[in-house]
Amino acid sequence: MPTPSIRTRAFSLIELVVVISVLAIIAAFSVPAVTSMLKGSSLTQSSQLLVDQLNLARQLALSKNTIIEVRFYRYSDPDSPGEDVTNPKAGKFRAMQLFEVIPSGAALPASKFNEFPNSIMLSANREAPDSGISSLLDKGPLKTSDDFAKKDSYHVSLPELPKGIKKQYDFVSFRFMPDGSTTLGPTTLWFLTIHGINDRQSTKDGKVGPPDNFFTVQIDPVTGATKIFRPTAA
């Protein structure tokens, strides 16, 4: 007895187009949400790194009865398209490191080189410091790669950075003293703000403010204590 054939029904072209269209709509809504989530995660990770390193610096100064210097590096990242590693001035503040200052004046690494995620930077506007949102980087003394040719013990001890950057970088620094205080001026409010590299400061009623998503740390120059501000989190 012959076996009856089983007929299967395939999808029509119209049905396939409808399914593909639905998937495209879902993807269009999902990609921005995922991107925003990843940016928020990178900002959270960076803010934790910043706060942990500042607290560690103060703790080391107190516990070891020594001077701890905190450096914030500005450089051009060879892994970022369009950036020239030989031109640190056109780069961004994107890493930090702690140093112990010994009696001879030399500074020895007290922590590893800590780089923020590629999508995150420390905000800085030295050209218009009063409109910036990181007063420590906007107004703090800047040591440039041109200074590094000096032969004193401080400059001789400057480390080379990884990824081929070597000593092609600038940095702003301040110090925690053995009593926990800092070398920052007591009459200024000292802030550090981090945000996405592609985020721009906002302007409202003629006043310049931070981007929509940011993280700010205020450092008390007298006690070295930190206060955290993050009005908007992704």
How confident is the model over 179-191, as pLDDT tens digits?
A: 999 999 998 899 9
44 pLDDT more than 70: yes
- Model confidence pLDDT, tens digit, residues 64-80: 999 999 999 999 999 88
CA 93, 99, 102, 107: dihedral to nearest 10 degrees? -50
Q: How far is CA 221 from CA 58, 113, 182, 224, in A?
A: 12, 24, 5, 5
- Model confidence pLDDT, tens digit, residues 54-63: 999 999 999 9
CA geometry: angle 94, 100, 102, nearest 5 deg:
145
- pTM, entire model: 0.80
Contacts of 192 (CB under 8 A, 6+ apart): 50, 72, 122, 134, 136, 137, 216, 217, 219
